[in-house]
Structure 1
Amino acid sequence: MVQTDTSKLTQLGGATKLPNSPDDAQLERVPHTHAGERYAVRFTAPEFTSLCPMTGQPDFGHLMIDYVPRDWLVESKSLKLFLGSFRNHGAFHEDCSVYIGKRLTELLDPEWLRIGAYWYPRGGIPIDVFWASGPEPKDLWIPDQGVPPYRGRG
């Protein structure tokens, strides 16, 4: 088994404060030690929070991030801190969702990445946002995200 090089990581293995904003968050990556193997990686954040930029009220979402690595993997603690940095950040649902997808794509240069952001209702309307870096790979099993649309009590 190949040992993952963690020598350049700055947040793993110790106490780390939540970044003040997504722009301040330091996303980190580690080398993909199974180069040549194609597989999908999924991160689920069912308790994602941000703030409405107009009212300052909290918004809640269920995020699903899938990607097919090329040379890099996202280091999961840095991803948790990055996502947590939205907790005190005011932005619309669409901005948060697309920003996360673009920032991860910039960091990782994956073969493919998608984010499904399933936001809980505010003002009576749920907003779901979907972003992908390109077409879904047809020759690789990518499971459905499995998050049903918001149904309320209907």
Structure 2
Amino acid sequence: MPLSMYQASVPVLLHALGNLSAILNKALLNAESRKFDAAVLLQARLAPDMFPFIRQVQIVTDTAKGCGARLAGVDIPSFPDTETSFDELQQRIAKTVVFLQGLQPAQFEGSESRDIVLKFPHQTLNFTGQDYLQFFVLPNFYFHLTTAYAILRHNGVPLGKVDYLGGGG
């Protein structure tokens, strides 16, 4: 049986979101053990023209919920970007997980050929569902996830590949 659009998206996103949640926990514990305010990490960035850590996490969750909703043909839940703490970021991740877990594989049937249109202020992107998943969602999701990981690692949080990859599927 070929890999379905559901199988290629939702379980993959859920696994990585679980890893991100564990990484946030590890960062918070590390800040406590080093006796500094973890809030400093929320605004940390790798380069002056890159988004800070907090925005990286917001984009990871936006990408995940947008993917699930668009491929399932349902409305995308709206989460205001108002987080100011690790706890609030964890809540955002948890809301995203609950949303994705509520989607059913049958909702994704035929989504590989569904037209997906993304409108941005200066451009519009048109995809089939499969191209959207493979060439937009997954690269974008992992770019921001990796950047969030790298920001924490750069700031001394003892993370390794196993933290990023997590356990088996």
Please, what TM-score do these two structures have when normalized by structure 1?
A: 0.24
Please, what TM-score do these two structures have when normalized by structure 2?
A: 0.23
Higher strand share: 1
Higher helix share: 2
By relative contact order (CA 8 Å, sep 6+), the higher-ranking structure is 2
